[in-house]
């Protein structure tokens, strides 16, 4: 007895090549969707990271720009400073020791005050200038002494008053001790032959009677 079974519609569809094509297409479509979603997520993350890095670099660049702003044009400012310094040296730094001593005498006559003692010394040579110190005793009426002091401060030669000490007074006459600094170029200071200015702590003798260091 022949018992051949007729396949069900489901079995026939399962055996059909078209069914397997549909199944393969569905699998591929699902894979494409998954990969697209993953790619989108990765791109979003990468794009966000790049934006953050770019913003950070921009902040760093602005900070660096602010830090370097004071240095812009520095070479021009240095050159201008050198020019101004050279002009200052030419105009206000005495050319030699003799011109200092002569100018002090001229201002004393203009006071008029009397120089009772004058002592000049020189400090250690600097790279550009050497300090010349004057320790002097002067006497005269108070207005005359103040005129002399003011003329020192305003003179074209660069004089700096270091100290003023009242040493006596008789009637309208005042005796004053004054310490003044000026500067010479190292070569001119060395050529002057002035004695060494005592360092702090070294024994210092009072300014002697009569001029010294001439």
Model pLDDT, residue 191: 93
The per-residue pLDDT of the chain, averaged, comes to: 76
More confident residue, 31 or 174: 174
Res. 75: pLDDT tops 80:
no
> What mean pLDDT is predicted for residues 101-123?
93
Model pLDDT, residue 189: 93
Q: What is the pTM of this model?
A: 0.59
Res. 91: pLDDT tops 70:
yes
Res. 30: pLDDT tops 70:
no
Res. 17: pLDDT tops 60:
no
Degrees (nearest 5) of the Cα angle 121, 122, 128?
155
Degrees (nearest 5) of the Cα angle 201, 203, 207?
120
More confident residue, 111 or 138: 138
The half-sphere exposure of 30 on its side-chain side, counting CA atoms within 13 A, is 6
């Amino acid at each position: 007895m022949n018992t051949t079974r007729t396949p069900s519609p489901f079995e026939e569809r399962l055996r059909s090549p078209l069914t397997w094509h549909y199944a393969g297409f569905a699998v591929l479509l699902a894979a494409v969707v998954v990969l697209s979603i993953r790619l989108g997520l990765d791109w979003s993350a990468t794009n966000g990271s790049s934006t953050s890095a770019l913003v950070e670099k921009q902040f760093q660049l602005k900070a660096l720009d602010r830090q370097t702003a004071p240095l812009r044009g520095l070479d021009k400012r240095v050159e201008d400073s050198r020019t101004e310094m050279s002009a200052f040296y030419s105009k206000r730094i005495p050319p030699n020791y003799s011109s200092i001593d002569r100018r002090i005498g001229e201002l004393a006559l203009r006071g008029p005050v009397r120089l009772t003692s004058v002592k000049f010394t020189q400090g250690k040579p600097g790279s550009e200038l050497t300090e010349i110190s004057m320790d002097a005793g002067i006497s005269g009426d108070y207005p005359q002494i103040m005129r002399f002091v003011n003329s020192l401060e305003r003179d074209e030669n660069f004089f700096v008053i270091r100290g003023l000490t009242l040493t006596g007074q008789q009637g309208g006459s005042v005796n004053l001790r004054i310490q003044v600094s000026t500067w010479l170029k190292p070569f001119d200071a060395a050529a002057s032959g002035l004695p060494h200015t005592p360092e702090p702590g070294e024994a210092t003798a009072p300014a002697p009677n009569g001029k010294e260091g001439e």
